[in-house]
Amino acid sequence: MGEAGLEPRLLESAPRRSNVVARIPGTDPAAPALLVHGHLDVVPADPAMWSTHPFSGEVREGVVWGRGAIDMKNAVAMAVAVARHWARTGRRPRRDTVLAFTADEEASAAYGAQWLVRTHPELFAGCTEAVGESGGHTEHVRAPDGRTVRLYPVAAGERGTAWLRLWASGTAGHGSRPNSDNAVQAVAAAVARIGEHRWPHRLTPLTRAAITEIGAAVGVKADLDAPGFDPDRDLPGVLDRLGEAAALVRGTVRESANPTMLNAGYKVNVIPSDAGAGVDGRVLPGGRESFEAAMDELTGPRVGWEYEHSSPALESPVEAPVFAAMRAALLAFDPSGHVVPVCMAGGTDAKQFSELGIAGYGFTPLLMPPGLDRDAMFHGVDERVPVEALRFGVRVLDRFLSTVE
């Protein structure tokens, strides 16, 4: 970043947990600042399972291979490329642009964005909006009439995170003897109830907008305000009519809670006194209270639960000028595409920056070719991204950052 004419600050929150922040001064000191953030950490990768070494960064036949190619060193590289281009050409954005590259997003953000927000909030002074992970990429979907439509989903919201720890205590004893106070049995029953629970459908304003705009793009009328429309009864049919495009919203029309971990015992013939489990819960905006009530009922009086990690659900305005600028930047380079708002099923560092009142959007523009499943690359084997996808992304990001009001 130094060769881009910037003076980045390297902030280490803990050993091997480095964060990098730099500010590019804008031409209009009265304009609000804009945050561009991305995380530097990646999830592990087993070289034995990959076609090439996951940390080689090999470029083969026009494709960059390696862990982080999609999630999300690609976005960091594109942001730096834009900053270098501006430095070489003497250009500056209208708004101050803060670049923040963080550690620890793949865990809890405690050593990354959360640490930056709580210990160095002055670095983000004046920032009113942020763009970050996941959004602005091509989704090739088959419309019900057989057409292939290019959608560019831009994330204007995220479900909240609710990682839970369940536990139960009981009476330890020999595995051969009757035991009506078995902690393992209690936790297993609670986990089964949670896994089988069918959460009710619930439409937030953002998901309503997403379904309506996706429907218009693929030629399906989705009248969610029709008299008597019942989400639990009628929404599944609407999603079925959207065809492949429904994948963009299926994960955000209800809460979810997936059991992911079990922990009990140390020997098969010993009934342990304690047992536990982990559950990955996700909550829509406005759904925290009903989610907690459901967990109380599903765990029952025998099993306790608490948050291991919790973060809020987000929803940013779709009608805002910053969203219009993202839409215009994408359509400038793909006029036949359709830019649609979506809510993310998971979460990003936008949750941490929201503590400073910064409205977050997912915008990592990429022109993905048909047949290469971007979503499967997240945390998957043989993660990769075409070089041309990155070139497209740099051009779109440059236009957006240069024109956003």
- pLDDT, tens digit, 9 for 90 and up, residues 7-29: 899 999 999 999 999 999 999 99
Average pLDDT over residues 306-323: 96
Predicted pLDDT of residue 7? 86
List, in order, residues 6 or more apart from 33 with CB less than 8 Å away.
23, 26, 95, 96, 97, 98, 124, 125, 126, 127, 128
Predicted pLDDT of residue 1? 59
Whether the bond into 368 is cis, omega within 30 of 0: no
What is d(CA 48, CA 53) in angstroms, rounded to the nearest whole number? 8
Phi, psi of 3 (to 5 degrees): -70, -10
Q: Which residues pair with 35 in a beta bridge?
A: 98, 130
Locus of tokens 């990354």: 112
Average pLDDT over residues 286-311: 97
**pLDDT tens readout for residues 112-122:** 999 999 999 99
* Sheet with 256-264, side-by-side order of all strands: 256-264, 274-283, 160-169, 304-311
Identify the CA nearest to 133 among candidates 395, 314, 403, 10.
314
Q: How is residue 363 annotated by DSSP?
A: -
Average pLDDT over residues 27-39: 97
SS3 category, 279: strand
Average pLDDT over residues 315-337: 97
Going 340 to 343 to 349 to 354, the CA torsion angle's sign is positive
Beta-strand pair 59-60/63-65: antiparallel
Average pLDDT over residues 249-254: 96
Please give the span between the terminal C-alpha atoms of the chain, in angstroms, as a whole number: 25
**pLDDT tens readout for residues 140-165:** 999 999 999 999 999 999 999 999 99
Predicted pLDDT of residue 123? 98
Q: Which residues pair with 152 in a beta bridge?
A: 339
Record the pTM. 0.93
**pLDDT tens readout for residues 336-353:** 999 999 999 989 999 999
List, in order, residues 6 or more apart from 57 with CB less than 8 Å away.
64, 65, 66
**pLDDT tens readout for residues 82-96:** 999 999 999 999 999
Predicted pLDDT of residue 300? 97
Task: Provide the pLDDT confidence category of residue 2 given band limits of 50, 70 and 90.
Answer: low
Locus of tokens 């839409």: 327
Domains by residue range for the chain, with CATH? 2-142+313-403 (3.40.630.10), 160-196+255-311 (3.30.70.360), 200-253 (no CATH)
**pLDDT tens readout for residues 137-146:** 999 999 999 9
- CA 367, distance to chain mean position in Å, is 19
Predicted pLDDT of residue 50? 97
**pLDDT tens readout for residues 341-397:** 999 998 999 999 999 999 999 999 999 999 998 988 999 999 999 999 999 999 999
Average pLDDT over residues 244-272: 97
